Amino acid sequence: MSVIDRKVIDFGHEDDDKVTICISDHIPWKSDEIKAHLEVLQDKINDYLEFIESGQIYEEFGGKGKTPNIKVIFCHEPVQEALYYLDKIKSIVVDSGYTFEWIYRPLKSE
């Protein structure tokens, strides 16, 4: 599962103080495809927000009453335009009472 799989939670888990659902983003940041990449990511984040708001997050991963957290794991380092977008999304998600984070975790060379 990945960022391109709509209406699917890639993976999730309960921590001490939050319930985290993760998006696995393997798409490279090609200059001519940045806008399309951001649209795919936005759609997936919106799906995750619906999942949280419906209460399904607690049914699937437990942690009722803990803060929902959306975490994006990038296989390719986000470009500046993506970082700007992620900051805007974080602000919206935090205003909704949730947390939002992202990390860059490159694929290991085989």
pLDDT band at 1 (very low <50, low <70, confident <90, very high): confident
- In angstroms, the CA 78 to CA 62 distance is 31
Inter-residue contact 104 to 72 (CB < 8 Å): no
The continuous run of DSSP H or E covering 36 comes out as: helix 34-53
Encode pLDDT of 50-102 as tens digits.
999 999 999 999 999 999 999 999 999 999 999 999 999 999 999 999 999 99
- The pTM score is 0.93
pLDDT at 110 over 50: no
- Residue 50 phi, psi (nearest 5): -60, -40
